[in-house]
Amino acid sequence: MTVIAETAPVSNPARWMGRILSGLVILFLMIDGAIKLVPWPVVTETMERMGYESSDALMRGLGAITIVCTVLYAIPPTSILGAILLTGYLGGAIASHVRIDSPLLTHTLFGLYLGLMLWGGLWLRDKNLRSLIPLRR
């Protein structure tokens, strides 16, 4: 016997709030990926301060990964896959900041803030994710 769970439709305000949150995340990550594709001095200096080598290949690789994962997140049929991949990417950023003892609220937890916006925006705009992760009243 197959059971299909009913989910409440996504209201227009929730859908728009989800789109805005997701749009901000997409905009930030696309800019972040793009500046890594063109390894500007600020990017290489930051990577050196974090303890990574400042090779152009590493920067371009990280930029390409960021852009590909963000594009997957932006396309509705692949948005959950993109969110999962970006969560791993942001976790690596958090771990890097923990390793060098960056300021907690501004640098270290920034990946967490971005991840919450990423999943919150997706949850608000995707009824399938709402059925997978329901919130009870």
Whether residue 35 contacts residue 27, with contact meaning beta carbons closer than 8 Å, is answered with no
Structural domain includes residue 92: yes
Question: What would the pLDDT profile of 46-77 be if each residue is shown by its tens digit?
Answer: 888 888 887 888 889 999 999 999 999 999 99
Distance between CA 51 and CA 47 in Å, rounded?
A: 6
Residue 135 lies in a domain: no
Per residue in 90-136, pLDDT (tens digit) is 999 899 889 888 888 888 899 999 999 999 999 999 888 888 888 76
Q: Which domain holds residue 76?
A: 12-127
What is the residue type of 69? C
Question: Is 73 contained in some domain?
Answer: yes
Q: Model's pTM, two decimal places?
A: 0.86
pLDDT score for 47 = 84
Structure confidence by residue, pLDDT tens digits, 19-30: 999 999 999 999
Residue 5 falls inside a structural domain: no
Q: Does residue 132 lie within any of the structural domains?
A: no
70 found inside a domain: yes
Domain tally for the chain?
1
User: CA 69 to CA 82: how far, in whole Å?
Assistant: 5
Which whole-number Å values give the CA distances from 69 to 10, 11, 41, 72, in the listed order?
25, 27, 24, 5
* The pair of three-digit structure tokens given for residue 134, joined into one six-digit string: 């329901």
Per the domain annotation, does 93 fall within a domain? yes
Determine, yes or no, domain membership for 21: yes
